[in-house]
Structure 1
Amino acid sequence: MESEGPPESVSSEKSVFFSQQEEDDEEGAAQEPEETVATNPLLQPALTGDIAGLQKIFEDPENPHHEQAMQLLLEEDIVGRNLLYAACMAGQSDVIRALAKYGVNLNEKTTRGYTLLHCAAAWGRLETLKVLVELDVDIEALNFREERARDVAARYSQTECVEFLDWADARLALKKYITKVSLAITDTEKAPGKLLKEDKNTVLNACRAKNEWLESHTEASINDIFEQKQLLEDIVTPILIKMTTPRQVKSAKSVISHGQKRSQEYTFY
């Protein structure tokens, strides 16, 4: 990639990544053949943040590389990395955001299971992490070491990235809980217990309120998020317990006994 003339810092960082991120891999620090990289017109704008240059290639039918734009973008090296990974290494968050609208798979993995999120985490590219999470990438994806991006950030002592991914994980946990509860409440046919309409509305309204809270509190702390999840659990848990408690069905004997008792009461009066 250096043959296209990116800044020296980008070149040196790239070489560090190839030895660092794939350490212990049999593929090691293998790079793309120079002749292949040198002919890729997307490299320079991807590494320098030239959004207009990228858009011209992707959107201008008159551009000589227009028809091959997606192929050029997704062209991989020997370990499965494309130019999106180069953009991550260079911290070009706007490039990632711009290219996402062309339908690229932001959860694609290398041969060792590294995603773009893993890459950004290893390099300490906090703003790139934020963009990827905003674009709903899978923050739970595992590499060949069974590591999430958060684990990779911790391994390379990227403290800010660890803190951000912990925050993102807390938000995801609340979202998943809301979804789980909503599905459980609406699928009452599978519930052995009785669900009153009032209980159903209580839960659905609580879930809706927490979704709105998440949307309106994008800067909330981890503690705030945990607190909101606990408040929701306090509302939902008693109702879910009621749902999972089997209905009590009276036996024929108890019904007859009850009828006889009522009959005796009427006779007494």
Structure 2
Amino acid sequence: MEPEGPLESESSEKSVFSQPEEDEKFQGSKETGLENPLLKPVLTGDIEGLRRIFEDPEDPHHDHVMELLLEEDVVGRNLLYAACMAGQSDVIRALAKYGVNLNETTTGGYTLLHCAAAWGRLETLKALVELDVDIEALNYNNERARDVAARYSQAECVEFLDWADARLALKKYITKVTLTITDPEKGPGKLLKEDKNHVLNACRAKTEWLETHTDASIDELFEQKQLLEDTVTPILVKMTMPRPVKSAKSVTSHGQKRSQDHTFHG
């Protein structure tokens, strides 16, 4: 089994991600001695071969294709991990269409993203992030994929994951602000309609900016987040301020004034 605590050395940890073609367990079932029919198309990027097995009812492996794909070795890896280690980004994209879970973990908490990061598979990292995997997932050592990439000196992967973090931070802030401003127990009655619309429009504009600036730099992402914070923070502060309460004296005085006015006009 894969260790549940910190490993003794970096080299021993790297063995967790041994090349699939050298891993006996990836060669097929120990019980039958037969090679997993999905192994070759996964490692060679044969998308058409995978599609045939998944979609053709006449294919002899069609009925148990998902079982074959998710068959695990002793540390919880399946052929999705083989695809990541082999850098088969198109395979990952193709398999995602069939509803596989791209956020699954091994017994040590490693995700597909950790795996791709350890091996420096930049294009596979990009594919996984595009497919909205959890980039904040932690392994047994409380490391994110970015941390694993840094330990193995995968500079390009570190840079990309830093960018993905910056993009995620802006998206999460937009979501947080939107939910806060539309919460019926926080927003209505405590903010002017103009303020609420101003915040929602600002969030909408940043969402559109993200969609149209897919190649924005880390600095640009941080700048956009700061601009949004500068816009909405003063308004959000209003929501935390207690409403002014009229004193009994002011209420009495107001009532007396109305009584006097009524007497005068009468």
What band does the TM-score fall into relative to the shorter chain?
A: 0.7 to 0.9
Q: Following the alignment from structure 2 to structure 1, what is the Cα–Cα distance between the partners of residues 215 and 28?
A: 46
Cα shift readout 1:191-232 (whole Å, capped 9, x = no counterpart)? 597200000110011100000000100000000001111111
C-alpha distance in structure 1 between counterparts of 2:28 and 2:38, whole Å: 14
Contact 1:122 1:158 in 2 (8 A): yes
Map 1:170-181 → 2, pairs under 5 A:
170-181=166-177
> Does residue 80 of structure 1 match 2:73?
no
Q: Is the 8 A contact 2:27 2:39 kept in 1?
A: no
Q: 1:195 to 1:119 in 2, by over 3 A?
A: same
Contact 2:27 2:36 in 1 (8 A): no
Tell me, in whole angstroms, the C-alpha distance in 2 between the residues paired with 1:67 and 1:82: 18
Q: How many residues were matched structurally?
A: 247
In structure 2, runs of 5+ residues without a counterpart are: 1-9
- Residue 161 of structure 2: aligned partner: 165
Amino acid at match of 1:20: K
For the pair 1:22 / 2:31, whether they are aligned, the reply is no
For 2:42, the equivalent position in structure 1 comes to: 46
CA 1:129–1:61 in 2, change beyond 3 Å: closer, same or farther? same
- Taking a change above 3 Å as real, the CA distance of residues 221 and 35 of structure 1, as seen in their structure-2 partners, is closer
Match of residue 198, structure 1, among 182, 194, 198: 194
1:189-228 equivalent positions in 2, closer than 5 A: 189-190=185-186, 194-228=190-224
Distance 1:34 1:266, change over 3 A: closer
The 2-side partners of 1:41 and 1:125 are apart by 24
Give the letter for the 1:97 counterpart: R
* Preserved contact between residue 139 and residue 149 of structure 1 (Cα < 8 Å): yes
* Counterpart-to-counterpart distance in 2, 1:33 and 1:194: 60
CA distance in 1, matches of 2:194, 2:42: 55
Alignment of 1:9-158 (within 5 A): 20=14, 22=16, 31-32=24-25, 36=29, 38-158=34-154
In the TM superposition, residue 58 of structure 1 has moved relative to its aligned partner by: 0.7
Distance 1:22 1:242 in 2: 52
State which drifts further: 78-87 or 242-251.
242-251
Q: What whole-Å deviation, never above 9, does each CA across 1:90-130 have from its counterpart, x for those lacking one? A: 00000000001111000000000000000000000000000
2:183 counterpart (162, 187, 192): 187
SS in 2 for 1:36: coil
Shift of 1:36: 1.4
Residue type matched to 1:150 in 2?
R
Structure 1 portions without partners, runs of 5+: 1-15, 24-28
The letter of the residue matching 2:247 is S
Aligned counterparts of 1:45 and 1:17: Cα–Cα separation in 2? 29
The share of aligned pairs that are identical, in percent, is 78
Question: TM-score, normalising length from structure 2?
Answer: 0.86
Preserved CA contact (<8 Å) 1:192 1:246: no
| CA deviation profile, 1:121-178 (whole Å, cap 9, x unmatched) | 0000000000000000000000000000001101111111011001001111111100
**2:7 — aligned with what?**
none
CA drift of 1:243 comes to: 1.0
Q: 1: distance between equivalents of 2:92 and 2:150?
A: 23
Deviation at 1:248, TM superposition (A): 1.0
SS in 2 for 1:87: helix
